[in-house]
């Protein structure tokens, strides 16, 4: 802890230009990147060794490294250096040790022109690496250390030179403490984002599995039931239904393979395409095999981002028709309105929703897909009975 002089170099001076050029050369050479990869313990150890050498050289220049004070000077300088080397692992203990050695050196050996800088780094490290409670201990240690140090220098008015130094040392503690808190806030925000991303990914996977497995299983159950009813009296019809059942199962396996490929981050397996509204006629034929006639008018060209979602919305709506509606027919309309928004409507002639019905997993999945586009969703009884669902996905 000592009075320090600052040298201000004009920005346009030759020295400033040379310093900038040297920094650019170091950066281009990769020195900065290499330094960032050095382990913390190695950097702290090198810092401690460097300060130890500097302190011993300074003390030798002052004539302190001679006579009876030689062992004390070396030991106290070594304690200060060790405190720097341990500033990350044990910041409070390291700062206490370094401060005690600094004050003892000032009282019994003589003040060092280098040791106060080491103590300043240790105090900054206390604020940066210690826990909140331990970092606050620096507020109790610093004033006592400043008083003890200036008492050893023989100053007749320790309060006057110590006041400025006390302010600088407390500022170093505050800077380290603030940097630590910002780092904690950044880590907390990053962890919150990771948790949110994981939750969204789980929701997306649950929705996809529900849409793929739920739809195909419901269709296969209906087809198997129809085959059982006509098995004895119409073998040809039974064979036709079982063929459709096999085809439905193969399509389910194909979509599951596509999804597993996406989960492995290597994309869909070769030859597989992501379903879109162009597949709705095939979906209508599958529903017809399950006993529901579905009409699909001509379809527009839509953006790739909305293509899969539109298909899944229609698929889930028709699955609900098959599972709950007891309908004989359904109609699907997909069009682009005057604002290029995608308007999807699915209605059936079934029994309609019961009074006070609550959306199940299927409708909730549709709502999540629509919400991802910032769109709107309506569902309930149709004007002519049955169930009606309408989703509007705004243009991207």
Write the pLDDT tens digit of every residue in 50-83.
999 998 888 777 765 566 677 888 899 999 999 9
Query: What phi and psi values does residue 293 have, to the nearest 5 degrees?
Result: -80, 125
Alpha-carbon dihedral 280, 286, 288, 290, rounded to 10 degrees: -140
The answer to whether position 296 is within a domain reads yes
Tokens of 372: 């991802």
Best mean pLDDT range from 59-73, 231-245, 296-310, 331-345: 331-345
Do the domain assignments include residue 283?
Answer: no
Q: How long, in residues, is the chain?
A: 396
Which pair of tokens denotes residue 187?
């880590």
Best CA proximity match to 354, nearest among 388, 374, 381, 334: 381
Q: Which helix (H) or strand (E) holds 324?
A: none
pLDDT at 257: 72
Give a yes or no: residue 200 inside a domain. Answer: no
Distance linking the first and last C-alpha atoms of the chain: 62
Instruction: Write the CATH number for 333.
Output: 3.30.565.10
Residue with tokens 């950097």: 43
Q: What percent of the chain has pLDDT over 90?
A: 28
Residue 135: domain span: 14-156
Q: Is 284 part of any domain?
A: no
Ranking 21-25, 187-191, 227-231, 254-258 by mean pLDDT, the lowest is: 21-25
Nearest CA to 119 out of 133, 100, 139, 136 is that of 100
- Total domains in the chain come to 2
For 206, phi then psi, to 5°, come to: -60, -40
Q: Is residue 242 part of a domain?
A: no
Please identify, among 128, 156, 184, the residue that sits at the C-terminal boundary of a domain. 156
Residue 98 in this model has a pLDDT that exceeds 50? yes
SS3 for 159-208, per residue? Answer: HHHHHHHHHHHHHHHHHHHHHHHHHHHHHHHHHHHHHHHHHHHHHHHHHH
Average pLDDT (332-345) is 89
Quote the pLDDT of residue 19. Answer: 54
Residues paired with residue 391 on neighbouring β-strands, in sequence order? 344, 377
Does residue 171 lie within any of the structural domains?
no
Residue 379 makes CB contacts below 8 A (sequence gap 6+) with 353, 359, 363, 387, 388, 389, 390
Q: Is 5 helix (H, G, I), strand (E, B) or coil?
A: coil
**Token code pair at residue 356:** 């006070």
Q: Tell me: the pLDDT tens digits for 234-279? A: 888 788 778 777 777 777 777 777 766 666 655 555 545 667 889 8
pLDDT given at position 339: 82
Residue 36 lies in a domain: yes
Domain endpoint, select from 137, 156, 175: 156
Query: How distant, in Å, are the alpha carbons of 150, 188, 189, 203, 339 from that of 192?
Result: 48, 6, 5, 16, 36
Would you say residue 7 has pLDDT above 80?
Answer: no
Q: Phi then psi for 158, rounded to 5 degrees?
A: -65, -25
261 within a domain of the structure (yes/no): no
SS3 217: helix
- For range 378-384, the mean pLDDT: 86
CA distances to 121, 318, 355, 362, 380 from 358, rounded to whole Å, are: 63, 18, 9, 11, 10
Task: Give the three-class secondary structure for 157.
Answer: coil
How does pLDDT run across 311-321, given as a tens digit for each residue?
A: 889 988 888 88
What value does the mean pLDDT take over residues 391-395? 89
Is 255 within 8 Å of 275 (Cβ atoms)? yes
Strands 329-336 and 376-381: unpaired
CA distance 301 to 342: 10
Q: Which helix (H) or strand (E) holds 396?
A: none
Chain segment 150-168, per-residue pLDDT in tens: 886 655 444 455 688 889 9
Last residue of a domain, one of 106, 141, 156: 156
Structure tokens at 346: 């699915």
Q: What is the overall mean pLDDT for the chain?
A: 80
């Amino acid at each position: 802890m000592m009075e320090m002089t600052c040298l201000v170099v004009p920005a346009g001076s030759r020295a400033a230009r040379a310093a900038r050029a040297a920094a650019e050369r170091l950066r281009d050479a990769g020195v900065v990147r290499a330094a960032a990869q050095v382990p913390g313990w190695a950097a702290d150890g090198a810092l401690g060794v460097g300060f130890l050498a500097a302190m011993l050289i300074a003390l030798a220049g002052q004539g302190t490294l001679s006579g009876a004070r030689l062992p004390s000077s070396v030991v106290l300088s070594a304690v200060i250096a060790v405190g720097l080397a341990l500033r990350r692992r044990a910041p409070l203990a390291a700062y206490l040790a370094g401060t005690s050695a600094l004050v003892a050196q000032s009282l019994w050996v003589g003040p060092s022109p280098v040791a106060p800088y080491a103590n300043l780094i240790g105090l900054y490290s206390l604020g940066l690496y210690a826990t909140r409670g331990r970092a606050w201990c620096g507020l109790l240690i610093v004033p006592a250390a400043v008083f003890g140090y200036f008492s050893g220098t023989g100053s007749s008015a320790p309060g006057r030179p110590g006041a400025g130094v006390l302010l600088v040392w407390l500022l170093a503690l505050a800077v380290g403490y603030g940097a630590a808190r910002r780092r904690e806030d950044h880590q907390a925000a990053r962890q919150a984002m990771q948790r949110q991303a994981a939750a969204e990914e789980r929701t997306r996977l649950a929705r996809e599995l529900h849409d793929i497995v739920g739809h195909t299983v419901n269709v296969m159950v209906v087809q198997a039931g129809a085959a059982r009813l006509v098995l004895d009296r119409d073998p040809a019809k039974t064979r036709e239904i079982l063929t459709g059942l096999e085809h439905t199962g193969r399509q389910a396996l194909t979509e599951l393979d596509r999804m597993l490929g996406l989960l492995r981050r290597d994309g869909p397996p070769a030859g597989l395409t992501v379903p879109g509204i162009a597949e709705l006629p095939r979906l209508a034929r599958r529903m017809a095999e399950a006993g529901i006639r579905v009409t699909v008018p001509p379809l527009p060209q839509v953006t790739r981002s909305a293509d899969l979602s539109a298909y899944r919305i229609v698929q889930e709506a028709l699955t609900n028709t098959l599972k709950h509606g007891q309908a004989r027919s359904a109609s699907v309309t997909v069009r682009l309105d005057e604002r290029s928004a995608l308007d999807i409507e699915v209605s059936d002639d079934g029994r309609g929703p019961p009074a006070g019905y609550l959306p199940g997993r299927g409708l909730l999945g549709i709502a999540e897909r629509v919400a991802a586009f910032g769109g709107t969703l309506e569902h309930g009884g149709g004007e002519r009975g049955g169930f009606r669902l309408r989703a509007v996905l705004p243009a991207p």
